[in-house]
Chain A
């Protein structure tokens, strides 16, 4: 096995957003000491170990943040989710590192250096800085990364020698262990390894001994693979309730941006998402949104949201908004691919058509946008159904029998029939053809026994009527030929 460790030494700063590209100086402190800053802060001479007061003296408009371990953890999880594209075996090494088992991926990425290059290009794009190191054990990779030693160690026999020259300070040491090591005059890992194991365990703690043993491959070092959460949820709470749709718009747009950033980390797309608007003392309002093919196009999603917002009225003030998205889908690259191909009419039409459906969906609601599909069934009211657009409708073999009407009534409409002769709007109907007997459905209790006729009304309408052969032998209007 071969492990690559990414040590995000500036994570306490980076977790506050893409700060490297910003123009304002930002520094982070912990326990009264600066622990890092972004590029503008570093340019101003703000260094780790300064007091925040000294740092603030160097910058008037700089921003000062206290270290936020929760943010760091979330950022690390995001990075882990992103790293899954390089290997399925990614594990998190809190507080600032990721471990990637890369042996299985080397062939795919054509070797260590191309893989490393790809990883560092990706990190640069996200504005992250990391030390990378490669070693046969995860702990050794982690130690090398903390030491900033990027030369890969690929063979286990070379491992002890490489670790031996490193300072003991790269090990995770408590104050007690640091003091003890100083007392021993022990400065390198090699010197530490020369001491007897039980002595190290007694004086410096068993945990440190075990770390050393894991690093050297003398003790198993199992890791749990990172499983990216399979849903996205972000919530924004407001102290002042939002009272207008226009007040809501920027918030929904902001949430879409953060969703799309997340999707880029995951290298996936989304087809369904849902906004939940929370009110005081009222059940929440849900705004679902769907697209027909996976996307992470923030502009398109915002446009769909705008369509929906144009069409709603806020019934109550909104105190919190959350965005939930489940099921992630691989992007097929359809839209990008299509732009590269010749813009064949049919293809562009398909893309435009998808946009049209999504526009209808978001404005009218999905249940109002459909296709019709014939079903193999003799009962006329069951010989069809609605379905969601986007699927091919397979034509059925035409059932034998007389012509069917283009319009069907949702419910058969009773017709008056004085003296057994059916009437429509008070005028007798002229029967033109029939009867066609439909007698079926005994197996599910919804059986019918009907005689269908084509009929013409006094004002020239052609309609489809039937006489129920059971009960009162009543007449019904069931379809219109149009």
Chain B
């Protein structure tokens, strides 16, 4: 006969730190494969957590924060639901996004006026139930608003991806997954897993990290 504590622990709502969940309480469809085998292996469930917030912290635009999520987004954009991009820092360049497999007729781009409107927009999109993923670049996000967004992602069954400055790494966050991008050197992107439900923090290095087509490592001579 099972002990009460085991029955309790079998409740799907309970997760235990340090115990990677792969049981029926977190079936594979609750996670979105990142498309990077090394990262998927490091994350419980094999990818970005569904119905939850993922924070991606980075120092400067262009270190690989978008390419990290592109394969997952490309897959989600073909799932019948929508992808929302909220307060992107630059123009989402249609030819490049299409080339990376994003179905642009499923991509919504929102330019809010200010920080509060951006947070409002993220919450609406997450909660609506119609967005498979919501990517957002909020200028400011405190613990309380993160909590709201986390709840919205849960109720709307949406993957929330917040792109934030790496200084946020020291702040508390209710996000299910927090990744900090280190420097990408040549063929490798270093990722620190700051927080992940069901697994201890760690680090991953993604290989074959470069813009296609692959280029020589030495500087090109300038044509004069």
A407-B104 contact in complex given A372-B92, A480-B90, C-beta closer than 8 Å: no
Q: Is A459 an interface residue (CB 8 A)?
A: yes
**Contact status B97-A364, CB under 8 Å:** no
**Contact status A364-B65, CB under 8 Å:** no
From A371, A399, A462, contact of B64 by CB (8 A): A462
Q: Is B124 an interface residue (CB 8 A)?
A: yes
**Contact status B215-A433, CB under 8 Å:** yes
Which of B3-11, B25-33, B36-44, B55-63 forms part of the interface with chain A?
B55-63
Q: Name the A residues within 8 Å of B22 (CB-CB).
A: none
Q: Is B13 an interface residue (CB 8 A)?
A: no
A-contacting residues, B185-224, CB 8 Å? 185, 210-213, 215-216, 219-220, 222-224
0/1 per residue, A442-458, Cβ < 8 Å to B? 00000000010110010
B-contacting residues, A393-413, CB 8 Å? 393-396, 398-399, 402-410
| Chain A nearest CB, measured from B101 CB (Å) | 10
C-alpha gap A353/B104 in the complex (Å): 15
Identify whether the interface residues of A are mostly helix, strand, loop, or mixed.
mixed
C-alpha gap A393/B108 in the complex (Å): 11
Q: Which chain B residue has the least Cβ–Cβ distance from A392?
A: B105
| Chain B nearest CB, measured from A348 CB (Å) | 8
C-alpha gap A385/B109 in the complex (Å): 12
**Contact status A353-B220, CB under 8 Å:** no
Q: Name the A residues within 8 Å of B61 (CB-CB).
A: 407, 461, 480, 482
Which of B45-53, B110-118, B140-148 forms part of the interface with chain A?
B110-118
Q: Is A223 an interface residue (CB 8 A)?
A: no
C-alpha gap A369/B87 in the complex (Å): 11
A384-B91 contact in complex given A349-B80, A349-B81, C-beta closer than 8 Å: yes
**Contact status A435-B110, CB under 8 Å:** no
Q: Name the B residues within 8 Å of A410 (CB-CB).
A: 90-91
0/1 per residue, B132-158, Cβ < 8 Å to A? 000000000000000000000000000
**Contact status B104-A371, CB under 8 Å:** yes
0/1 per residue, A330-366, Cβ < 8 Å to B? 0000000000000001100100110111011001100
**Contact status B100-A406, CB under 8 Å:** yes
| Chain A nearest CB, measured from B55 CB (Å) | 16
**Contact status B94-A372, CB under 8 Å:** yes
Q: Which chain A residue has the least Cβ–Cβ distance from B125?
A: A356
C-alpha gap A376/B20 in the complex (Å): 48
Q: Which chain A residue has the least Cβ–Cβ distance from B221?
A: A431
**Contact status A374-B80, CB under 8 Å:** no
Q: Name the A residues within 8 Å of B59 (CB-CB).
A: 459
**Contact status B125-A372, CB under 8 Å:** no
Q: Can you list 7 contacts pairing A with B, beta carbon distance less than 8 Å?
A: A364-B113, A372-B94, A407-B62, A410-B91, A433-B215, A433-B220, A462-B63
A407-B91 contact in complex given A346-B80, A459-B59, A481-B211, C-beta closer than 8 Å: yes
From A356, A386, A393, A463, contact of B105 by CB (8 A): A393
From A356, A402, A409, A459, contact of B124 by CB (8 A): A356
**Contact status B129-A352, CB under 8 Å:** yes
From A375, A389, A392, A432, contact of B211 by CB (8 A): A432
Q: Name the A residues within 8 Å of B111 (CB-CB).
A: 364, 368, 370
Q: Which chain B residue has the least Cβ–Cβ distance from A399?
A: B95
C-alpha gap A386/B108 in the complex (Å): 10
**Contact status B62-A481, CB under 8 Å:** yes
**Contact status B82-A368, CB under 8 Å:** no
Q: Which chain A residue has the least Cβ–Cβ distance from B124?
A: A359
Q: Name the B residues within 8 Å of A409 (CB-CB).
A: 90-91
- For the A-B complex with A407-B88, A462-B62 known, give 6 more contacts whose Cβ atoms are closer than 8 Å: A369-B108, A374-B98, A393-B107, A398-B99, A405-B93, A479-B93
Q: Name the B residues within 8 Å of A394 (CB-CB).
A: 105
From B88, B104, B222, contact of A393 by CB (8 A): B104
Q: Name the A residues within 8 Å of B70 (CB-CB).
A: 406
Q: Which chain A residue has the least Cβ–Cβ distance from B62?
A: A461
**Contact status A405-B128, CB under 8 Å:** no
Q: Name the A residues within 8 Å of B113 (CB-CB).
A: 364, 368
